[in-house]
A and B are shown apart, each in its own frame.
Chain A
C-alpha cells in the first residue's frame, strides 16, 4: 500500500534561516505529490504539487520542492523563512493504483525571531 513518511514531527528555526521539511513515499509506478500547509486554526491549503514534468516545483510564499524518483522523496524547501511561515505542513501522495490521497503525519514548523 502507498505510504508517506514525514521524518520530522517538529522543526524549529530562526527567522531568515533556510529550512527543509522532509517527505518520503513508498514506491509506485506513477505518483502525484502534494504539500499542504495548515496555519493555526485554519483548514489546509495547497502549497504546491507535482503531477508530471519538471522535477523542481515552485509554490506559493516562496516554497519549492524537488521530486526525486530514485530516492522516493519530495522535500520542501524555503531559502529564508518568516515568522508567518509558522504552521503545520503536510506531504501527501496519490498514484494511479491508489484510489485515495494519503497524507503524512505532518511537520510543525516553528519560526523564532
Chain B
C-alpha cells in the first residue's frame, strides 16, 4: 500500500511565524501535491511538483512556497503565517504525470494560526 505521511496532525502557530509542513511518500511516485481543505470550499490546489526541484503553482499559491529536494519529500512553507491560512492541509502523491492518475492522500495537518 502507498503511504503518505505528514509531519504533524495538529499545529498551532502565531501570526508572522514561518511554518514548515512536511510530506513524505514511500512509493517512488513522481508527482506530489499540496491542497488546503476548507468547509464549503472543498479542496483547492496550492502547488504541485512533477519532479525533483520542479514546482508548479496551483489555484491559490499566494503566501505559500514549496520545496522538493528529494523525490519522496515535498514541503509546504508559509513564509509569514496569517490567520486566513488557518486550515486543513492535505498532501497527495500519484505515480503518473498529469491529473488522471489516482492520488494518494496523507492524513492531513490541521493548522491554526493565532
Question: Which residues of the partner chain B approach A51 to less than 8 Å between Cβ atoms?
Answer: 100
A4-23 vs B: 1/0 string, CB under 8 Å? 00000100000000000000
The answer to whether B90 and A44 have CB atoms under 8 Å apart is yes
Given known A100-B45, A100-B59, A106-B42, contact A44–B105 (CB-CB < 8 A): yes
The answer to whether B4 and A32 have CB atoms under 8 Å apart is no
Contact residues of B: prevailing secondary structure = loop
Q: How many residues of A contact B (CB 8 A)?
A: 22
Contact residues of A: prevailing secondary structure = strand
Q: How far is the CA of A45 from the CA of B104 in the complex (A)?
A: 6
Question: Which residues of the partner chain A approach B40 to less than 8 Å between Cβ atoms?
Answer: 9, 105
Q: How many residues of B contact A (CB 8 A)?
A: 22
Q: Which of A43-64 contact B (CB under 8 A)?
A: 43-46, 49, 51
The answer to whether A90 and B59 have CB atoms under 8 Å apart is no
Question: Could you jot down 12 A-B contacts, CB within 8 Å?
Answer: A32-B99, A41-B107, A44-B105, A46-B103, A49-B102, A90-B42, A90-B43, A100-B45, A101-B45, A101-B99, A104-B42, A105-B41
Q: Give A residues with C-beta under 8 Å from B.
A: 9, 32, 34, 36, 41-46, 49, 51, 90, 94, 98-101, 103-106
